[in-house]
Amino acid sequence: MGRAEENPLLRQFTGIHETAPLGQIQNGHYMPAFKKALNNARKEVEGIVKNTEPPTFENTIVGLETSGRLLGRVAGIFFNVLSAETNDRLQKIAQEVSPMLTEFQNDINLNPGLFKKVKTVYDKKNSLGLSVEENTLLENTYIGFVRKGANLNEKDKEKFREISTELSKLALEFGNNVLKETNAYSYLLTDKEKLSGLPEGALEAAAAKAKDKGHEGWMFDISMPSYLPVLKYADNRELRKELFMAYGSKAFKGNGFDNQQNVKKIVGLRLELAKILGFENYAGYILERRMAMGPSGIYKLLEDLYEASFKVAKQEKEGLQKFAGSLGFEGELMPWDASYYSEKLKIKKFDLDDEMLKPYFELNNVIDGVFGLATELYGITFKLNKEIEVYHNEVKPYEVFDADGTFLAVLYADFHPREGKRGGAWMNDFKPQWKENGKDSRPHISIVMNFTQATETKPALLTFDEVNTFLHEFGHALHGIFANSTYQSLSGTNVYRDFVELPSQLMENWAVEKEFLDKFARHYKTGEAIPCELVEKIKASENFMEGSACLRQLSFGFLDMAWHTITEAYAGEVKAFDEKAWKKTQLYPTIDEVCMSTQFGHLFAGGYAAGYYGYKWAEVLDADAFALFKEKGLFNKQVATSFRKNILEKGGTEHPMELYKKFRGQEPTVDALLERSGLK
């Protein structure tokens, strides 16, 4: 199985647009492919080090950039499948291969001979006549070496190796624990009277879930399509509490999947790593390479938004308590009551709920609408091509073409939850974009979601939140699809973390616009367009409970910054740390049995450590950017072309603030966000 001619990962990809033969790849192919690819990559880097010619931009910086292509290909496929269609064997491979990859990266970054060559080129940068993109690549390469320990003494280099290897293992273990806890939970009810308030679609899905597991009745789990309807609609308060506690206590039960020690180990090792590199804390290290420079800048953003939202959120909570009382509720509202009474209040105020909207958001129509928006703005088209191999039969593979018919990208779209798929929604690439020898090698992009599934009597009907999520991930996808860089490390979404959410969050703005909804939102039975009054209600309710929603996001930002601005290792209780960190943002009583940090994958298994504030920063950017569309026209091609040319195509080839100013003509201000949110 390890021989190249037998291993599909090691053969030349001859499929449509050189796509990966995903249907042919088996678990046993990965480890031999990783070993071969790592061996190749080491030889390529060794060739750069041993080159006796004087170091140049081409033979050193570009040489490093283009090395390890096979390794990038194997890793790109493996880690995408690991997230979207995992199993125990893949998770074991990940635990084995992650330290190997970290060791390889450390061998590059901590190689004194290689760094000497990089530094030689870097020291001559002003006399090399480099383009803006070439200069960015040189800067990133040099600074990347320094930030990965190249200037350390031998003792600290060894410590850096140990820490980075351990961190890669812990992040995987953290994510696996959360997924296993999610998959392990289910709750069966056989008395239909205990399910009053739940919509027909949620009941059908729960009945189908029970049937699949060999039970009579209705089965619920803590995947979003099952969990959210219970929290929003179930009259049975005990059922709401049951699922809330199960969801909120993931990896916080003191069992084999508990993440409390992992959290403390991860933040402790990150702090140690930052200190070795000369930073006071991990946030200082991370934020050195962000738009919003330094922890003080982040705290100012969070505090400014807190000041604007807290009083509003407090009033919203008091209003909700009063409203619940008018319906006969006694006592203090608890976290498992908030969504339920908010939904009832929303119906009363706006005569609007998800169940009224879902018939107009049949998945295939939404696909047409979201893709159609890109066609309207940018002229691109999407063609489903089932000849392209996929990793699961639910995945839809599309070819994407530019306005002139030129091939742009492959887009894999994966919409529904499965046991092997982690929760949430994300965009990634199986293959990035780059240019070489006159050829523009186009990207293969993936968007993965966990949307409401079809039932025996209904097609997949999305909630309005799911429509927003689709637009969000599709915005990331456009960032990848339009990538137009020479170097893959600067291509697509390879931008500062607090800039990457701009394209995704910008797309969400169209969700409440009648001109957009009219194009695709049709009743799945009658074909009737979504009525004007429903669209008006969506628009009117856009800022419903906005203070509370803003405060919730800020709570995660404060928690993130608290963990990553510690200057001494934390030995206390994780739960106590959480409560102290976000205390001023909490509107509801503390529940001892639930914990955020133990399941906070963005921070401890993803790339958002000291970066969660980026969602709020990107809201500042996207509100400011969308204001230009509002001013010039929702589908204004001139504005769209400017956004494509200055933001989407450029990736990380220039500093994001420079790119933003080229698009907008000015730096962003918080005004548009506060106005849009009704917080001004």
The set of catalytic residues is: 473
Neighbours of 643 (CB within 10 A): 24
Neighbours of 271 (CB within 10 A): 25
- Spatial distance between the Cα atoms of 422 and 35, rounded to a whole number of angstroms: 26
- Residues with Cβ within 8 Å of residue 412, at least 6 apart in sequence: 390, 395, 396, 397, 398, 430, 444, 445, 446, 447
Cα–Cα separations (whole angstroms), residue 580 to 141, 559, 565: 39, 9, 14
Cα–Cα separations (whole angstroms), residue 144 to 104, 165, 272, 493, 614: 15, 17, 18, 17, 21
Give strand pairing partners of 410: 399, 444
- Spatial distance between the Cα atoms of 590 and 372, rounded to a whole number of angstroms: 45
CA angle (475, 480, 481) in 5-degree steps: 90
Asked if 335 and 244 count as a contact pair (C-beta separation under 8 A), the reply is: yes
Q: Which of 556, 570, 569 is nearest to 602 (CA)?
A: 556
**AA letter at 52:** T
Burial status of residue 586 (CB atoms within 10 A of its CB: 0-12, 13-18, 19 or more): middle
End-to-end CA distance of the chain: 63
Tokens of 87: 């199993």
- Spatial distance between the Cα atoms of 173 and 191, rounded to a whole number of angstroms: 38
- Spatial distance between the Cα atoms of 370 and 679, rounded to a whole number of angstroms: 29
